[in-house]
Structure 1
């Protein structure tokens, strides 16, 4: 991030998202970015991160990726032989697309070699199997194996706090491989924590149905539930879906092999594989969508509180139980969110305090990025500290204390402020 881009971004947030007409949303189509040489990180910030809009990057952005050479046959199909040699014994999660379990699909785990055997039989059976339509989803390849150079993280997505945090803890990540035959699909959803995501087709094609934030509210049924499949004729029932007519059509994208799709925060979507497809997908959070994540967490806690509200007066430590349930359902609670902010904040403060030594956290995007990050964390942490439910969290063992960290951030913001 350069100084001009940082100044633009900070003006944008100070203006409540109205800081620069160049960042105004343009809906109705998804922009296509043809050439890496003519598209900078600053262009991405201005055109897509700030206005929270999707875009598609051409296959030129990924033509040097190892996965596109190693995992794909000369005819453009998945190279099963290579995958079996390198990863055959790795246990992977597999979802059954033909079975609805709440608004998702049930999963099982099996060695990759067993899934590839199924996949080959599925193709030979005319894309049908008595076992159902099985889809390899959420395989943590980076966590499970470092045997191959499969992809190179694009600079546009390199400010990735979510994976930086989990890598620091060395317990998890949000980097996934998806792989499945033609006809596999992912039901209607928005990404975890209202994160950004990016997805690259190593081979094959996908059809994406993208709904801007807020449109999903018109798709709720009369009980308030979101649909499992937005292409289902059930949504034509005005009694069951009384607000359906108020939802505009989705933005439809056909993503070709090698292309990279950026999905912004809070955009609900549904995805269908049009061919036998392998994709790499990351969820990521940074200063541009941190406030979206914090807003989502507040919504999640309110939902838990409403669900068990009748026991508020009779259940000891009711507020603590709400946080425990939230952690179980959403993958994070207010305490862990503070630790997430703390880890990223301390790394950025170190960058600003010591300069950009080689290998420093945030070095890829420079000190202006670190200064921008500190400002965004400071703003969100101030809201966290003031939140009544965070004030009920036992922070006695936190180091530093939230108020102390906030003061450090505010002092750093004062020093680095762009006038």
Structure 2
């Protein structure tokens, strides 16, 4: 990030004011196609798409050097199962789940081998290589998703595009060595993932290693018109039941989605809070990341507040009878309505997330400003201006967290650094880096 881009970003967030948490922007009439890597910089992406929170598609030229595009695909453009099963990834551990279902913390699903993933994706047809009996068959509409184990080398599979390298979510999970939000999706022709938005209102990017997909994209706020008379979002936005005004009384007010046909090798940026549904037009493998950074940190924080309030409403009848009611809302390991179970994160972990990223950015800035401190950070490719921008965004959200009544009920006595102390440090760094 350069100084001009940082100044524009900080001005942008100051100007959004109260609209920032919702991340709502005017929907574009089309999705831009970025053709040439040499003519498109990180600043171009940041100012044109990340900051305004609008989607774009990158051409296959951006991924032509990836090993997965060379080795995972047959000459006729189909998934090369022989390579995936026997030559390279047959013994790689994955976390396995049905696409479109809320991601669970590590341990929610037992690690499985890639050949098990492939067998379950399309039992008895494309992805069945050994003819093994399957104890559980998938619903025919859902592809499968695997998260490659962190120990697996990915250098020959793909390289992280610089546009998405300010990735706090995976930087944090890598730092604590617990989990990550990097996925491989596999699905045969005709499968699709249900209508949803990505976890935590994260950004996401998706590259088709082979095959074609059709995306239906709805900007933030549009999904509200699709709710049924009970307040639930649809599972399938192409279902004719949405035309029933008794079931979906507001559907007529919803604008048509942005439709994108993603070809092999192309990379789609899905902005924060955009609901989407994805259809596999051909046998498809894709690599995907969910990610968070300073541009959608406030929407993530707003989302967590909404989730906690929803939990509080669900169990409000037990407020008087349950000791430490507020504590249970965040951490009680009960039904899915409980915050930790629903989102995989509560306020305590959100603070730890902010703290880890903040300390790494402070190290970067200390080195630049001559303090003699050296640290390795996940977004070092983007430079000091990016680190300064990150600190300013963390400071704003942390100040809101510290002032939050529900967070004030969290027991912070075991924290290695008290939230108020971290906030003071960050405010001093923001002042010191204002002139950078």
Separation in 2, partners of 1:329, 1:14:
32
Residue 345 of structure 1: aligned partner: 358
In the alignment, the residues of structure 2 paired with residue 172 and residue 230 of structure 1 have an alpha-carbon distance, to the nearest angstrom, of 31
Contact 1:197/1:263 (8 A) holds in 2: yes
Say whether residues 1:407 and 2:421 are aligned partners.
no
RMSD over aligned CA atoms reads: 2.8
The answer on 1:260 being equivalent to 2:267 is yes
Aligned mates of 1:203, 1:135 — CA distance in 2: 18
SS at match of 2:184: strand
| Counterpart for residue 235 of structure 1 | 242
* In structure 1, C-alpha distance between the alignment counterparts of 2:64 and 2:279, rounded to whole Å: 23
Question: Partners in 1 of 2:226 and 2:154 — Cα distance?
Answer: 44
CA distance in 2, matches of 1:237, 1:196: 32
Deviations 1:362-415 (A, max 9, x none): 311101100000000000000000111011111111121101100100000001
Q: How far apart, in 1, do the equivalents of 2:116 and 2:376 lie?
A: 40
Give how far 1:270 is off: 0.4
Structure 1 residues 124 and 4 mapped into 2: Cα distance closer, same or farther (>3 Å)?
A: closer
Instruction: Give, in angstroms, the shift of residue 147 of structure 1.
Output: 6.5
Change (3 A) 1:304 1:156: same
How far did residue 326 of structure 1 move? 0.6
1:56 aligns to what SS in structure 2? strand
Q: 1:27 to 1:59 in 2, by over 3 A?
A: same
Native 8 Å contact 1:196 1:264 kept in 2: yes
Other-structure match for 1:67:
68
Residue 125 (structure 2) pairs with residue 122 (structure 1): yes
1:370 pairs with 2:377: no
Q: Indicate the SS of the match to 2:380.
A: coil
Report the CA distance between 1:234 and its aligned residue: 1.1
Q: Would the aligned equivalents of 1:96 and 1:134 in 2 still touch at CA under 8 Å? A: no
Cross-structure match for 2:402: 385
Q: State the distance in 2 between where 1:95 and 1:167 align.
A: 21
Contact 1:287 1:373 in 2 (8 A): yes
In the TM superposition, 1:272-283 aligns within 5 A as 272-283=279-290
Shift of the 63–351 alpha-carbon distance from structure 1 to 2, 3 Å rule, reads: same
State the Cα distance separating 1:25 from its structure 2 match: 4.8
Structure 2 counterpart of 1:162, from 160, 169, 173:
169
Structure 1, residues 224-261: CA drift from partner, whole Å, max 9, x if none?
Answer: 01111111111111101111111110000000000000
Correspondence list, 1:168-187, <5 A: 168-187=175-194
Partner of 1:206: 213
Q: May I ask how many residue pairs the two structures share in their alignment?
A: 409
Aligned 1:220-231 pairs, distance under 5 A: 220-231=227-238
CA distance in 2, matches of 1:221, 1:120: 34
Q: 1:109 to 1:163 in 2, by over 3 A?
A: closer
The equivalent residue for 1:9 is 9
Contact 1:94 1:135 in 2 (8 A): no
Shift of 1:121: 3.3
* 3-state SS of 1:121 partner: coil
Unpaired segments ≥5 residues, structure 2: 129-133, 332-337
Match of 2:334 in 1: none
**TM-score normalised per structure 1:** 0.91
Structure 1 residues 358, 53: closer, same or farther in 2, change over 3 A?
same
Q: Which residue of 1 aligns with 2:312?
A: 305
Query: Would the aligned equivalents of 2:202 and 2:296 in 1 still touch at CA under 8 Å?
Result: yes
| TM-score, L = length of structure 2 | 0.88
TM-superposed deviation, 1:144: 5.4
Structure 1 unmatched ranges of 5 or more: none
Q: Give the direction of change, closer, same or farther, for the CA distance of 1:147–1:416 in structure 2 (3 Å limit).
A: closer
Could you say what secondary structure the match of 1:73 adopts?
Answer: coil
Report what 1:112 is aligned to: 114
Distance of 1:48 and 1:307 partners within structure 2: 37
**SS where residue 349 of structure 1 aligns?**
helix
Q: Distance in 2 between matches of 1:358 and 1:62?
A: 30
Q: Distance in 1 between matches of 2:303 and 2:187?
A: 31
Aligned residue for 1:316, secondary structure, equals coil
Q: CA deviation at 1:355?
A: 2.5
Deviations 1:285-310 (A, max 9, x none): 00010001000000000100000011
* Cα separation, 2, equivalents of 1:114 and 1:140: 13
